[in-house]
């Protein structure tokens, strides 16, 4: 698998201090945001980010107290457990479309003492290019874009380029312009081009 991560641009987030759950939005044309916040006692902060399979989610965390942690979750799955991680930076290629959750919280001992700490959380969603080999012998290069929302994919096959918008899918990710369709789930994908459907894999 070949990943070509594009350049990230840093912007400032505007958040409501009285809302413990906030939706992360990138300024159009950017795919990184810096958030500052304060956690007190049991009042954790939660950030929601919509992302697509094939993209790379990265986080960097700078707390004023070492006992302030953060988790990254996808549905019921914990992708990063802050209480077990020493490194405050984290990155992973995403396997599914949907909301990803970042929780910032104190360990129970400090929460009971009503401790308070500030933090800076940088969230980046990188566009990547993934190379696939298909059952018919063709090579397909797919770039998954974080912007514009809700995302798009650029599919290159046989030196032809197809710009495909993201469309609703029951499972995995799906991109289509009505004539050409690319679907992927995990490390596999299918290409529908001029009728035939071809199975592809990284």
Q: Which domain holds residue 31?
A: 21-126
Identify the band that residue 4 occupies on the pLDDT scale cut at 50, 70 and 90. very low
* Residue 1, domain member (yes or no): no
* 16 has pLDDT over 60: no
Mean pLDDT of the chain: 84
More confident: 28 or 124: 124
Contact by Cβ (8 Å): 113, 89 = no
Task: List pLDDT tens digits, range 65-99.
Answer: 999 999 999 999 999 999 888 889 999 988 888 89
* Residue 38, domain member (yes or no): yes
Contact by Cβ (8 Å): 173, 183 = yes
Pairing of strands 116-126, 197-201: unpaired
Identify the band that residue 14 occupies on the pLDDT scale cut at 50, 70 and 90. very low
Tokens 């992360």 sit on residue: 24
The whole-angstrom separation of Cα 162 and Cα 148 is 16
Average pLDDT in the 35-50 region?
94
Residue 55 has what pLDDT? 83
- Same structural domain, 120 and 150: no
Task: Specify the 3-state DSSP secondary structure of 111.
Answer: helix
The whole-angstrom separation of Cα 199 and Cα 187 is 11
* 5 has pLDDT over 90: no
The number of folded domains in the chain is 2
Residue 201 has what pLDDT? 92
CATH number, domain with residue 182: 2.40.128.200
More confident: 111 or 14: 111
Task: List pLDDT tens digits, range 177-194.
Answer: 888 999 888 788 999 987
Kindly report the backbone phi and psi dihedral angles of residue 153, in degrees, each rounded to the nearest multiple of 5, phi listed first.
-135, 140
pTM for the model stands at 0.66
Identify the band that residue 17 occupies on the pLDDT scale cut at 50, 70 and 90. very low
Q: Which residues pair with 162 in a beta bridge?
A: 155
- Same structural domain, 136 and 116: no
């Amino acid at each position: 698998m070949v990943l070509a991560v594009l350049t990230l641009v840093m912007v400032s987030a505007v958040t409501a201090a009285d809302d413990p759950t906030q939706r992360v939005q990138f300024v159009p044309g950017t795919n990184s945001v810096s958030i500052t916040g304060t956690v007190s006692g049991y009042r954790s902060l939660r950030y929601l980010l919509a992302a697509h399979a094939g993209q790379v989610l990265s986080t960097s965390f700078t707390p004023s107290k070492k006992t302030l942690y953060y988790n990254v979750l996808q549905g019921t799955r914990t992708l990063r457990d802050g209480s077990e991680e020493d490194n405050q930076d984290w990155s992973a290629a995403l396997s599914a479309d949907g909301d990803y959750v970042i929780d910032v919280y104190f360990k129970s001992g400090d929460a009971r003492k009503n401790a308070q700490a500030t933090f800076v959380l940088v969230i980046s969603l990188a566009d990547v290019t993934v190379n696939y080999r298909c059952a018919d012998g063709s090579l397909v290069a797919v770039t998954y874009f974080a912007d514009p929302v809700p995302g798009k994919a650029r599919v290159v096959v046989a030196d032809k380029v197809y710009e495909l918008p993201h469309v609703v899918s029951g499972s995995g990710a799906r991109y289509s312009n009505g004539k050409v369709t690319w679907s992927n789930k995990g490390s596999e994908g299918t290409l529908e081009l001029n009728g035939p459907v071809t199975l592809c894999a990284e």
